[in-house]
């Protein structure tokens, strides 16, 4: 018996640990960032640009090369004393070490380093932009779940209220104080509310699946979320002037910073192209030595020591005629720079349009929410009054259910308006450079 109790305790402990804990919005974002392929590609691009930067910095340093060459040779010789041909075996060894460093190449190395720095910084901002985009997608899906969840709770309350009214109507009908028509109307409302509840449950499950798919999580039946304090979010005031928001966003948005760095990189690319038409000056130095077994009178060590030949050289290359390659490269680089400048302008214009639309949507959502809030209070009061009159026999079931359905419609619109307001507010906060959170 003792072991059975212990086994049961262990089983329940494992079962509790196996259950998936509710996910907060921040945890959903973190999961999406860890498992999103777009983020991983952006990280790979950042690592790639950093590798290019390290390589371009290393190009300022001199190179160093070691060389060793050994040959085995058989030569034919004629012996005059015997009048015959013979074979001699020789071994030769050549070794060298050399270094070369660019002294001047029209600033190409310096500009390559600057270009690589710009590309690496742009990749960093692109990674941040990718993370923020994922966060916005998770935000939209998470709010859809919150709406579906509250809508489901609302449908449950409606059904509970309809069932109470049904029991009350049934008692009055059996007592002969309520007509059969009124009783059947109330009974029909229960069936309608059950259908609405089933639809709400299905929609809630669909929204959960959509959220799991957005964060790249395999679908789990017990996946749930943590309910944030939505009412406090709704009550907060934020700046909604498009010009003010746009001015802040220009300084905060990572995709703007990435595009600006891409333009700087393209402008440096023009200077790199110009370097093709400039002189190239390099310095080289090294030494070499050799050994040959033909000189058998001198041993291996002495030959290597005495045959050391150091050298120092300077090389100057001046382009004279390049078949318009340098000129064409400069022209192409300038066109690419102009094209990237247009891309930056387009990104800024799209940002401005998005902010103008977001501010307008937020103001509309706020106005709609406040109007529906007042309408809900009035409709709730009207329904409460209709319920009291129905209990007193002053109104029939048709008037009661009409009032209830009006309340249901307003409440559904209010719930939808509330979460739409939350979404629009969070989008504005994102443009203002605030962290996306719930």
Phi, psi of 114 (to 5 degrees): -60, -40
pLDDT value for 290:
85
5 pLDDT exceeds 60? no
Please report how many Cα atoms fall inside a 13 Å half-sphere around the Cα of residue 279, on the Cβ side: 8
Tens of pLDDT, residues 337-363: 999 999 999 999 999 999 999 999 999
Residue 128's closest CA among 31, 38, 247, 28? Answer: 38
Q: CA 362 to CA 115: how far, in whole Å?
A: 41
Average pLDDT on 366-376 reads: 96
DSSP state letter for 241: -
pLDDT value for 20:
64
pLDDT interval class at 390 (50, 70, 90): confident
Tens of pLDDT, residues 231-274: 999 988 887 899 999 999 999 999 999 999 999 999 999 999 99
pLDDT value for 16:
44
List, as one string, the DSSP characters of 200-238: HHHHHHHHHHHHHHHTTPPP-TT--BPPP-HHHHHH---
Alpha-helix runs per DSSP H in 298-324? 300-306
Residue 151: Cβ-neighbour burial (10 angstroms; 0-12, 13-18, 19+) = buried
86 pLDDT exceeds 80? no
Q: What is the pTM of this model?
A: 0.84
Q: CA 149 to CA 416: how far, in whole Å?
A: 11
Q: CA 426 to CA 141: how far, in whole Å?
A: 13
List, as one string, the DSSP characters of 128-166: HHHHHHHHHHHHHHHHHHHHHHHHHHHHHHHHHHHHHHH
pLDDT over 90 for what percent of the chain? Answer: 72
pLDDT value for 9:
54
pLDDT value for 12:
52
pLDDT interval class at 91 (50, 70, 90): confident
Tens of pLDDT, residues 297-318: 667 778 777 788 999 999 999 9
Tens of pLDDT, residues 159-207: 999 999 899 889 989 888 889 999 999 999 999 999 999 999 999 999 9
pLDDT value for 4:
54
7 pLDDT exceeds 70? no
User: What is the enclosing helix (H) or strand (E) of 58?
Assistant: helix 37-58
- Residue 218: both structure tokens together: 């395999």
């Amino acid at each position: 018996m003792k072991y059975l109790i212990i086994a049961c305790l262990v089983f329940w402990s494992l079962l509790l640990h196996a259950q998936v804990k509710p996910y907060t919005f921040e945890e959903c974002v973190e999961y999406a960032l860890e498992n999103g392929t777009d983020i991983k590609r952006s990280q790979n691009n950042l690592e790639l640009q950093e590798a290019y930067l390290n390589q371009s910095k290393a190009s300022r340093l001199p190179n160093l090369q070691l060389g060793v060459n050994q040959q085995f040779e058989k030569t034919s010789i004629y012996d005059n004393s015997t009048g015959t041909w013979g074979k001699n075996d020789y071994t030769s060894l050549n070794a060298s070490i050399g270094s070369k460093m660019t002294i001047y190449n029209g600033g190409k190395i310096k500009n390559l380093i600057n270009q690589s720095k710009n590309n690496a910084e742009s990749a960093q901002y692109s990674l941040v932009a990718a993370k923020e985009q994922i966060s916005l997608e998770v935000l939209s899906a998470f709010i859809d779940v919150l709406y579906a969840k509250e809508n489901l709770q609302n449908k449950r309350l409606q059904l509970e209220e309809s069932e109470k009214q049904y029991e009350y109507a049934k008692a009055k009908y059996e007592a002969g104080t309520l007509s059969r028509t009124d009783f059947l109307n109330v009974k029909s409302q229960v069936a309608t509310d059950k259908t609405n509840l089933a639809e709400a449950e299905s929609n809630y499950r669909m929204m959960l699946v959509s959220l799991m798919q957005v964060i790249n999580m395999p679908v789990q039946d017990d996946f749930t979320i943590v309910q944030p304090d939505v009412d406090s979010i709704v009550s907060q005031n934020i700046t909604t002037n498009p010009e003010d928001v746009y001015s802040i966003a220009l300084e905060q948005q990572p995709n703007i910073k990435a595009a600006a760095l891409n333009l700087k990189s393209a402008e440096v690319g023009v200077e790199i192209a110009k370097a093709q038409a400039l002189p190239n000056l390099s310095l080289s130095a090294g030494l070499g030595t050799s050994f040959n077994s033909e000189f058998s009178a001198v041993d291996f060590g002495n030959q290597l020591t005495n045959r050391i030949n150091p050298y120092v050289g300077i090389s100057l290359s001046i382009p004279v005629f390049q078949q318009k390659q340098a000129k064409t490269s400069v022209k192409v680089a300038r066109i690419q720079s102009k094209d990237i400048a247009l891309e930056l302008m387009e990104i800024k214009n799209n940002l401005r349009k998005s902010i103008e639309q977001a501010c307008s949507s937020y103001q509309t959502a706020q106005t709609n929410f406040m109007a529906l809030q007042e309408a809900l209070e009035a409709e709730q009061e009207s329904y409460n009054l209709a319920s009291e009159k129905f209990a007193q026999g002053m109104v029939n079931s048709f008037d009661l259910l009409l009032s209830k359905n009006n309340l249901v419609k307003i409440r559904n619109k209010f719930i939808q308006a509330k979460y739409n307001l939350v979404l629009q507010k969070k989008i504005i906060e994102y443009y203002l450079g605030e962290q996306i959170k719930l």
